[in-house]
């Protein structure tokens, strides 16, 4: 059974370069069993072909109010939909929708519906930050429209910044959550579980300008959060990289910067979690004194005295509630398995996920990873080099198998 069996989705595509990503969204939705009716604006046709959506959607792509056999296509589409997703949504579409203007089939369909609506904006940073666009978005949000993204990253013309369309995976995950919730229950094999994930590298301030940090990007932790939520879990994601964190329904984001802030956030929330994934790279030491003003080079070489931070994993495993699974991470450059096994034991963990960050394409900053998953009995499973989301899928499979095997603990469906 597909996650979206029997669901009817209108997929609106407007004119932006990110329109090509809607192709993947369309394919994933039909793969999941949804009936997808693509509706393109004239602008969208400048970026992608109608025949692509004809082939991947569940019915012929509609463009105009006047070219369908049905005399009132917008009401047929709008009234029959469980969800209308606009992906990507331009500033024009957002403004028209907010103001109730129906200049084309897509905006007419948005007005002729009582279904849920999801808008996935994509535009240049300057446009996204315009007061008018920001106001339109906040009005739509207040009206109950789901806004997914945008995120930070590469934009058209080689620019970098905020305004990039959310990743197709995250958009599809949000759709799964929305329609799952609609039917009164969360779907997926982790439904009913709460998963806490930490992600990113902490930053320890030296003063108002400089900090001591590390190379962690938060990608593996975020991939775990996305995977868990797409499988029905409720996720608490405590991250130092909130801008690139999954902005999807079911994920409660908590932004932190320092080891102390992350410690406090984890301690406050860990008791709610069935599983804790401590994927963040937490500083072991921090400057003892934080300069109140920028340290000037004329002052000469300044000695920075460090003091230890608290070990978050040690702290939560001491307060572990019954049945809770605690999973640590170990990024190493040598003696991988020995170092990881030592940490598993000294921090009293259920699993440790070890990776050798000196290997090419592994760990910090990359989209790929290769890890060893070691359990309490020393059993080791290797996950060879693949996309971090795929790594997350495999890690969660291993953890959920062990969770289900624990006779004393509630089984997940």
Name the site residues for ligand CTP (rule: CB under 6 A).
259, 278, 280, 282, 284, 309, 311-313, 328-331, 343
- Considering only CA atoms, give the Rg of the chain: 24
Contact between 3 and 181 under an 8 Å Cβ cutoff? The reply is: no
Nearest approach, Cβ of 349 to ligand CTP (angstroms)? 8
List 197's β-bridge partners, or say none.
237, 277
Nearest approach, Cβ of 269 to ligand CTP (angstroms)? 14
DSSP state of 146: E
Nearest approach, Cβ of 332 to ligand CTP (angstroms)? 7
Nearest approach, Cβ of 334 to ligand CTP (angstroms)? 10
Three-class DSSP category at 391: helix
Contact between 246 and 173 under an 8 Å Cβ cutoff? The reply is: yes
Non-local (6+) Cβ contacts of 296 within 8 A are none
Closest CB to ligand CTP among residues 57, 201: 201
* CA nearest neighbour of 81 among 58, 100, 54: 58
Closest CB to ligand CTP among residues 133, 282: 282
Closest CB to ligand CTP among residues 256, 309: 309
Nearest approach, Cβ of 330 to ligand CTP (angstroms)? 4
The rounded distance, in Å, linking the Cα atoms of 36 and 32 is: 10
φ and ψ of 409, to 5 deg: -105, 150
Pairing status of strand 160-164 against strand 151-154: antiparallel
Closest CB to ligand CTP among residues 122, 354: 354
Nearest approach, Cβ of 214 to ligand CTP (angstroms)? 9
Strands (E), 270-350: 275-278, 285-287, 306-308, 325-332
Instruction: Tell me the two tokens of residue 186.
Output: 């969360």
Nearest residue to ligand CTP, scored by beta-carbon proximity: 312
Given the residues 69, 99, 136, 214, the one annotated as active site: 214
Pairing status of strand 325-332 against strand 351-356: parallel
Q: HSE on the CB side for 116, CA within 13 Å?
A: 18
Nearest approach, Cβ of 309 to ligand CTP (angstroms)? 5
DSSP secondary structure, 242-297, as one string: GGGS---TTEEEEE--SHHHHHHHHHHHGGG-SEEEE-SB--SEEESS--SSPPPG
In this structure, the number of other CB atoms found within 10 A of the CB of residue 63 comes to: 21
In this structure, the number of other CB atoms found within 10 A of the CB of residue 269 comes to: 17
214 is known as an active-site residue: yes
Closest CB to ligand CTP among residues 81, 278: 278
Structure-token match 């593996």, residue found: 220
Instruction: Point out the residues that are catalytic.
Output: 214
């Amino acid at each position: 059974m597909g996650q979206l069996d029997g669901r009817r989705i209108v997929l609106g595509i407007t004119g932006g370069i990110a329109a090509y990503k809607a192709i993947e969204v369309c394919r994933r939705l039909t793969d999941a069993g949804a009936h997808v009716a693509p509706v393109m604006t004239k602008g969208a046709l400048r970026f992608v072909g109608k025949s692509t959506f004809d082939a991947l959607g569940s019915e012929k792509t509609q463009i105009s109010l006047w070219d369908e056999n049905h005399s009132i296509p917008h009401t047929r589409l709008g009234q029959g939909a469980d969800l209308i997703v606009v992906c990507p949504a331009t500033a024009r579409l957002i403004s028209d929708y907010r103001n109730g203007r129906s200049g084309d089939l897509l905006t007419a369909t948005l007005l002729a519906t009582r279904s849920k609506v999801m808008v996935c904006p994509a535009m240049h940073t300057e446009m996204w930050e315009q007061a008018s666009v920001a106001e339109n978005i906040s009005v739509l949000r207040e009206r109950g429209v789901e806004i997914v993204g945008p995120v930070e990253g590469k934009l058209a013309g080689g620019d970098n910044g905020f305004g990039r369309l959310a990743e197709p995976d995250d958009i599809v995950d949000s759709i799964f959550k929305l329609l799952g919730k609609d039917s009164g229950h969360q779907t997926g094999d982790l439904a009913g579980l709460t998963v806490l994930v930490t992600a990113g590298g902490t930053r320890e301030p030296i003063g108002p300008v400089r900090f001591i940090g590390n190379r962690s990007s938060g990608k593996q932790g975020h991939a775990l959060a996305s995977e868990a939520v797409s499988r029905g879990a409720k996720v608490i994601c405590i991250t130092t990289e909130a801008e690139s964190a999954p902005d999807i329904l079911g994920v409660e984001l908590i932004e932190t910067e320092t080891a102390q802030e992350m410690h406090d956030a984890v301690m406050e929330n860990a008791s709610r979690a069935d599983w804790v994934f401590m994927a963040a790279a937490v500083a072991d030491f921090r400057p003892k004194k934080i300069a109140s003003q920028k340290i000037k080079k004329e002052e000469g070489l300044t000695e920075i005295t460090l003091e230890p931070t608290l070990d978050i994993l040690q702290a939560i495993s001491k307060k572990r509630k019954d049945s809770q699974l605690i999973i640590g991470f170990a990024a190493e450059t040598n003696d991988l398995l020995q170092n990881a096994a030592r940490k598993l034991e000294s921090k009293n963990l259920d699993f440790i996920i070890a990776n050798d960050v000196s290997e090419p394409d592994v760990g910090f900053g990359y989209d790929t990873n290769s890890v060893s998953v070691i359990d309490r009995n020393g059993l080791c499973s290797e996950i060879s080099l693949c996309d971090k989301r795929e790594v997350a899928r495999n890690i969660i499979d291993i953890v959920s198998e062990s969770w289900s095997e624990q006779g004393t603990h509630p089984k997940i469906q």
